[in-house]
Amino acid sequence: MRCWINAESRTLVECLVAIIRLRNNPQALWLSELGSYLQGYDGYACSAPAGTKRVGKLLRSVKWTVGLIDRYLLDQADEEVKKLQTQGKRILCVWDGSVVEKAESEKSEGLCPVLSSKAKRRQRTKRGYVFNWPAVRPVRVMGMQWSAGLIAGMSGLPHLAVTRWWTTKGVFATKLRDAEEELLRVTVRKWGPLLVQVFDRGYASGYWLQVLEASIERGLSSAGAKIMCFSLRRAKKRNCGQSARGSGI
C-alpha cells in the first residue's frame, strides 16, 4: 500500500491516526507529540524530532490549500441536502460561532483578543466552598474566532458545510458580520431556497436583518427565511425592552 502513495500522503494518514490515538486534548495537536506518534500502529516513532520535522513539512507544503478542505466539506453537505430533499424532509442550516483560546501564545499567526469562557467558569462561586466577587468586565485572552454553518434535518447527524477561522487583528483582520455574511452567501449560491436558515439571538441586529431581507429578495427562501427574520425582530425587541427596563427608562 505504501508504495502507491507519496511521503506527504503517508504523513497525513499517520497524523490522522496519531490524533485519534492521542487522547490528551491539550496536547493532541502539538507537533512534537504528533511526531512521536508517527510510524503507523506499531507504537512510538524511533525518532520524535524526525517525525516532528515530517509534520512541519506537511503543514508548509504548497501542494494543498485550505480550499481543498472547504470544497470537501461543501460536497459532503451537498450530498446530505440531496438526500434530505429526496426524502421530502425540511433542511436546516444552523449557524453558530465559537473561539479557540490560546492564552499562552503570542507569536502565532491570526491571534486576536477573545472572551475566555474558561476564566468565567473558574470564577464561579461554589456554595459552601469558594466565594468570588462577580467580575466587573469579562476576561479576554489571545485566541482565534470561528464561524460555521451546519446542514441538518429534523433528525440525524448534522454535517459541517461552511466554516471560517478569522481574526480581528493584523493583516488578515476582518469583522464578525463580514465573515458571517461571506459564509451565508456561499450557502445561498449553493442551495438557495432549499434551506431554512436558523440563527440564535446573537444574530439579532439591524444589520443582519438587512442582510437576510436582501437574501430573501434574491430568492433565498419564501417561507423559512421570513420566519427567521420575524424571530430575529422579536428577539431584538425583547432585548431592547430588557435593556430599557434594566436602565430604568
In angstroms, the CA 188 to CA 245 distance is 38
**In this structure, are strands 159-166 and 112-115 parallel, antiparallel, or unpaired?**
unpaired
Q: What is the pLDDT of residues 11-66, one digit of tens each?
A: 888 888 778 777 777 777 778 788 777 764 454 456 677 778 888 888 888 888 88
Q: Rounded to an integer, what is the distance from CA 244 to the centroid of its chain? A: 33
pLDDT of residue 28: 72
* pLDDT computed for residue 14 by the predictor: 80
Q: Which of 178, 186, 138, 180 is nearest to 161 (CA)?
A: 186
115-138 pLDDT, tens per residue? Answer: 888 888 878 887 778 887 877 788
The predicted structure's pLDDT at residue 72? 92
Q: How many CA atoms lie within 13 A of 169 on its CB side?
A: 13
Query: Which amino acid, residue 60?
Result: R
Cβ(162)–Cβ(75) under 8 Å?
no
pLDDT digits 0-9 by tens, 73-107: 999 999 999 999 999 999 999 999 989 888 777 77
Above 60 in pLDDT, residue 188? Answer: yes
Block residue for cell numbers 436582501: 214
Q: Residues 68-74: what's their mean pLDDT?
A: 92
Under DSSP, is residue 20 helix (H, G, I), strand (E, B) or coil? helix
- pLDDT at position 45: 54
Q: Give the pLDDT score at 56.
A: 84
- Lowest-confidence segment of 24-33, 137-146, 172-181 by average pLDDT: 24-33
Note the pLDDT of residue 238: 57
How is residue 237 annotated by DSSP? H
Distances (CA, A) of 199 to 6, 73, 153, 190, 202: 43, 20, 15, 19, 8
In angstroms, what CA-CA distances link 247 with 165, 205, 206, 240?
36, 20, 21, 11
β-strands 195-198, 91-101 pairing: parallel
**Spatial distance between the Cα atoms of 238 and 114, rounded to a whole number of angstroms:** 26
HSE-CB for 33 with a 13 A CA cutoff: 15
**Which residue reads 433542511 in cell numbers?**
91
Confidence at 2, pLDDT banded by 50, 70, 90: very low
